[in-house]
Structure 1
Amino acid sequence: MNERQAIRAFLLMSYLVLVTRGIDAGTTDRWEKTGQILKDQRFRKTIIMEDGDVYDCIDVNHQPAFSHSLLKDHKIQMEPSSFPTGLNIKSSFQHEFVQANLSTIDCPIGMVPIQKNSKLDQITVHNINQVSNNHIQHEEAGIKYLDDLYGVRATINVYEPKVKKDNADLSQTGIQIDNGPEGQIDSIVVCYSVAPHYAGDSFARFHVAWTDGVLNKSCIDHNCPGFVQVSKSVGLGGRVQPVSVYNGPQYVITILIFKDPETKNWWLAYGEQNTLIGYWPSSLFTRIKDKGDFSFWGGHVAGPTASIYSPQIGSGHFASEGYGKAAFMRNIQIVDENNKLVTPNKYKDLVGTSDLLKYSVDGYKINKYGMHMYYGGPGILV
């Protein structure tokens, strides 16, 4: 079990999946890049964001997802057959925080925003040979969980941890759910990430990712086909704003991943109103088609020097500093076989960090609203 957990920890979060498993000699042959796909698609308008991000509004039925060979005859599902029960139960918390915003693009009805010529896409293409030849190091702090899973939910404190700009390391926080034997793990990841080398800036950016463990192929956002977007306004790969300030205002994003009990598609929603972004069709997967059996909630750093010049996780401060100073995750829940949000079983989790000198987890508790923790640390950024 420990060996399996170690392998899964290595697959945590979207950029790690992208760098270590997602792009190799066979990827561009099997899956086209988004930039190539959009040449053949109809779009109504191009939107340039204040931070320079560029999005094309694409017909929802002609988005990149449907260029995947397994989705040629896929009929788009605009909303789930049902949400998990228990979403209306709100927990009380003595401190106040506000939901942060994902990048909002005003696409017309019937369209979805697709990031055009993203910095991530361009820089990754130019640097992938260098990255893939380096030994990938990683560190983490959070909660690992082993059980049958039909969804996961958490409220995530958003910070912009410091990451060196002159290397290929990154820091990210989010949720992972996966299933499969060693070497063939299907995985779904939702996170915010700071990755200057790839994104070209030090902003917190929102990403989704998935891995086909059988083909050993991975994808982030719309950079290759797979994820079906239904939201006309959420820009994947865009900034999360505002972010929390140490000893100041605190901002969060609430993320829900859940399996549609009828179609078996894996849906993604965010915010207190559970606003739908899109879904991963069940046909993309082999191992996670029916359910997940592992999840991770927390922060993670990865890259060629992530253990040597370890970036910050969360606020960059140890968990013991508490609210307003250390990053937190609250209301961590899972969806059970009855499509109900429930508190995870405390006997099936593993709470901790890869290196206590760099990162920590503190304030761990569990109640009827879920699991809660503070986590993060300064790493050894110099």
Structure 2
Amino acid sequence: MEDKGASCISTVVEEKRKLGIMTKFGDIIDCIDIYKQPSLDHPLLQDHKLQRKPNFHNVIGESRQKNLGIKSMFELSKDECSKGTVPILRTTKEDLIREQSMLNDHILIKDLPGVHTDNYNKTGCYNIRCPGFVQTSKKFYLGQRITNTSICGGQTIDSFLAISQDTKSKNWWIIINNKFIGYFPAKLFSNMSTADHVGWGGRTKTRPSTDSPQMGSGHLPNNTASYFRQMWFKDPSAVARGPKSNQVYPLVDKPTCYGIKNYGDKRGHNGYYFEFGGPGVEGTQTILKEDLELERQLRLINKPPSKSIHTEFGDIIDCIDIYKQPSLDHPLLKDHKLQRKPNFQTGFGKSSQKNLETKFMFELSKDECPKGTVPILRTTKEDLIREQSMLNDHILIKDIPGVHFAEFFLRPHYAPYYGVAGTNSIYNPHIDSKFQISMSHIWVESGTVESTNKISLGWHVAPELYGDYASHIYTSWTVDNFKKTGCYNLRCAAKLFTNMSSADHVGWGGRTKTRPGTNSPQMGSGRFPENSGCYFREMWFRDRGDLPRGPEPSQIYPILDKPTCYDIKNYGDKGRHYGYYIEFGGPGGSCGD
């Protein structure tokens, strides 16, 4: 039987259509005369005087992350509504039927003040499915499909949202990305001259006795969850204020599934900030499985030590039997004969600058591991979790957004290569967030982009990996350009290489990584190469002749993608003490993606 109410409303909307814009998703956007939009059919709005804009200004400037642009969100990049009209998503009978079933059991009902007058008992709807919301923007429409969303461990997409009252008209304005979309007229409400509750957060809804879905990013608050930043509220003074810790209180009904964490005022780009969300019921079960897998990995990595050394930074160094170190657990190394030292000399002798001694690096000046053991940094569960998120978007992968480089390569037609070396100056470049990396390294690699075998050695500042902003010595490897294999240091046993009997590329230089749309960190010393940049000196490589050679200018070429942020300079052979010498680095900043 036909729903007469649905047919009646659909007919009213049909009469008001002027021009339809078809989106690529099949939605139809109608451009409706602003004075004939459905909301003005409400009995209480018959003599309503349209308010074109509020009597206040936004207090937050444009977001620095412009990932969620208006046109991208609403698919109106080519066709926009004409002057005097507003875009309204066309409503179908099926839309009304689906919405009615939702309103009978609304997600916002929970004995809390709602937007509507009777807690969704008899009034209320979504967007403009019933008369109420007055739209003023000709670029935005409600019910739009969001085409660009955040990727956990990758780029973050955010949007500024606000509900703010015009203290003169008493209308409640909706603001998205600092644009005024429209308002709910004060006449609609029985007791909303002011609000006695405001808030931020997330909710989920499922049928009784079924698993709850994810909320936000699907992660519990730990710097990877969904967030609100630049938070503010208005009190009777009508001045926007950030919520102090003593002014807010959390409501979490299922802490095993979801969490919430208030970080207070983080200042700068973030302002007042909190995170919320979680995996839901099914996600909790998954996390338990993941925890068991992490515990299994930790048992393989952290061997029983003959001695443990605690550093002043809180790290634990385990002295492990050299024949029982984690790498020898690899199936292909079961019968491996340990090689105590290589069958070649280092080439240029010991450095005359003893800045990077083992004892200094690992804080083992007083306590050293006994004979027959090797020092291995103890790995924690948090270390494994942080590293996994980094490997999904590795700094050494070619052609990924947010990665910039200043490097010298040896030309491939001089290959094969059997080694690369250099004495590297060590700095602690400034990093703005835990998602950034700044590194200096040498490397050998072989194979195509899809199957790159690579070993990298150097130092880096990688807060997401170590949980601090210190400089750390590191090595990393992969046999498939970090698609399925690879890790840092000793966090996993290396899968033996498929095509590394020799290398077809070797090099020296630096890289940085940041999230797309954010400023890049410093590289090296943070200065451009002018005798104050980060350097490699005493550089050499080994080719078929198996002798260490310095790279002649004709043999190397620079790879530099952002010369306004970083640079690299080859000084050639500077003679005694320096040998073959390059400088690289820079201040970073707005480098683009």
TM-score in same-fold range (> 0.5): yes
Q: Distance in 2 between matches of 1:375 and 1:267?
A: 25
Would the alpha carbon gap of residues 137 and 279 (structure 1) be closer, same or farther in structure 2, given more than 3 Å must change? Answer: closer
1:65 pairs with 2:36: no
**RMSD between superposed Cα atoms in Å:** 3.3
Q: Distance in 1 between matches of 2:179 and 2:123?
A: 28
Q: 1:110 aligns with which of 84, 91, 94?
A: 84
Q: Distance in 2 between matches of 1:291 and 1:345?
A: 20
Could you say which residue in structure 2 is the equivalent of 1:242?
148
1:360 pairs with 2:259: yes
Q: 2:94 aligns with which of 122, 130, 142?
A: 122
The amino acid that maps onto 2:84 is G
Q: Distance in 2 between matches of 1:67 and 1:116?
A: 17
Give 1:225 deviation, angstroms.
0.4
Would the alpha carbon gap of residues 122 and 51 (structure 1) be closer, same or farther in structure 2, given more than 3 Å must change? Answer: same
The amino acid that maps onto 1:38 is V
Q: 2:216 aligns with which of 295, 298, 314?
A: 314
| Identity rate, percent | 27
SS for the counterpart of 1:293 is coil
Give 1:309 deviation, angstroms.
1.1
- 1:186·1:286 contact (CA, 8 Å) conserved in 2? no
Could you say which residue in structure 1 is the equivalent of 2:502?
none
Q: Distance in 1 between matches of 2:22 and 2:141?
A: 12
Give 1:37 deviation, angstroms.
2.1
**Runs of 5+ consecutive residues of structure 1 not aligned to the other structure:** 1-27, 139-175, 189-209
Would the alpha carbon gap of residues 35 and 137 (structure 1) be closer, same or farther in structure 2, given more than 3 Å must change? Answer: closer
The amino acid that maps onto 1:248 is G
Give 1:354 deviation, angstroms.
1.4
Could you say which residue in structure 2 is the equivalent of 1:275?
179
CA deviations 1:353-377 (Å, max 9, x no partner) are: 2111111123532467753112111
Q: 1:302 aligns with which of 194, 201, 205?
A: 205
Would the alpha carbon gap of residues 302 and 248 (structure 1) be closer, same or farther in structure 2, given more than 3 Å must change? Answer: same
Could you say which residue in structure 2 is the equivalent of 1:371?
272
Q: Show the 5 A alignment for 1:32-47.
A: 34-41=9-16, 43-47=17-21
The amino acid that maps onto 1:228 is V
Would the alpha carbon gap of residues 137 and 76 (structure 1) be closer, same or farther in structure 2, given more than 3 Å must change? Answer: closer
Q: 1:87 aligns with which of 42, 57, 60?
A: 60
Q: Distance in 2 between matches of 1:248 and 1:97?
A: 16
- 1:60·1:111 contact (CA, 8 Å) conserved in 2? yes
- 1:34·1:225 contact (CA, 8 Å) conserved in 2? no
Give 1:275 deviation, angstroms.
1.0
SS for the counterpart of 2:50 is coil
Would the alpha carbon gap of residues 129 and 292 (structure 1) be closer, same or farther in structure 2, given more than 3 Å must change? Answer: closer
Q: Distance in 1 between matches of 2:203 and 2:194?
A: 24
Give 1:33 deviation, angstroms.
6.9
CA deviations 1:162-214 (Å, max 9, x no partner) are: xxxxxxxxxxxxxx9x9xxx97x7633xxxxxxxxxxxxxxxxxxxxx55559
Would the alpha carbon gap of residues 358 and 238 (structure 1) be closer, same or farther in structure 2, given more than 3 Å must change? Answer: same
SS for the counterpart of 2:281 is coil
Give 1:56 deviation, angstroms.
1.0
Q: Distance in 2 between matches of 1:332 and 1:63?
A: 32
Q: Distance in 1 between matches of 2:101 and 2:63?
A: 47
SS for the counterpart of 1:372 is strand
Could you say which residue in structure 2 is the equivalent of 1:232?
138
Is the strand fraction higher in 1 or 2? 1
Give 1:279 deviation, angstroms.
0.5
Could you say which residue in structure 2 is the equivalent of 1:193?
none
- 1:346·1:366 contact (CA, 8 Å) conserved in 2? no
Q: Distance in 2 between matches of 1:83 and 1:32?
A: 41
- 2:140·2:181 contact (CA, 8 Å) conserved in 1? yes
Q: Show the 5 A alignment for 1:282-293.
A: 282-288=186-192, 290-293=193-196
Give 1:97 deviation, angstroms.
7.3
Q: Distance in 1 between matches of 2:180 and 2:98?
A: 33
SS for the counterpart of 1:328 is strand
Q: Show the 5 A alignment for 1:1-382.
A: 34-41=9-16, 43-83=17-57, 86-88=59-61, 98-101=67-70, 102-105=73-76, 106-118=80-92, 122-123=94-95, 125=97, 128=100, 132=104, 187-188=114-115, 210-211=116-117, 213=119, 216-271=122-177, 274-288=178-192, 290-305=193-208, 308-320=210-222, 322=223, 325-362=224-261, 364-366=263-265, 371-381=272-282
Q: Distance in 1 between matches of 2:98 and 2:184?
A: 28
The amino acid that maps onto 1:346 is S
- 1:212·1:284 contact (CA, 8 Å) conserved in 2? no
CA deviations 1:63-89 (Å, max 9, x no partner) are: 0011100001101111112226x435x
- 2:103·2:125 contact (CA, 8 Å) conserved in 1? no
Q: Distance in 2 between matches of 1:302 and 1:268?
A: 24
- 2:150·2:156 contact (CA, 8 Å) conserved in 1? yes
Larger Rg: 2
Q: Distance in 2 between matches of 1:356 and 1:97?
A: 33
- 2:244·2:264 contact (CA, 8 Å) conserved in 1? no
CA deviations 1:16-59 (Å, max 9, x no partner) are: xxxxxxxxxxxx97x99752321332x32111111111111110
The amino acid that maps onto 2:114 is S
Q: TM-score, normalised by structure 2?
A: 0.42
Q: Which has the higher contact order (CA 8 A, sep 6+)?
A: 1
Q: Distance in 2 between matches of 1:301 and 1:33?
A: 32
Give 1:130 deviation, angstroms.
9.2
Give 1:347 deviation, angstroms.
2.2
Q: Distance in 2 between matches of 1:75 and 1:377?
A: 44
SS for the counterpart of 2:197 is strand
The amino acid that maps onto 1:371 is Y
Q: TM-score, normalised by structure 1?
A: 0.63
Q: Distance in 2 between matches of 1:227 and 1:69?
A: 13
Could you say which residue in structure 1 is the equivalent of 2:489?
none
Q: Distance in 2 between matches of 1:214 and 1:309?
A: 25
Give 1:98 deviation, angstroms.
3.4
Would the alpha carbon gap of residues 328 and 219 (structure 1) be closer, same or farther in structure 2, given more than 3 Å must change? Answer: same
Q: Distance in 1 between matches of 2:235 and 2:99?
A: 41
The amino acid that maps onto 1:125 is I
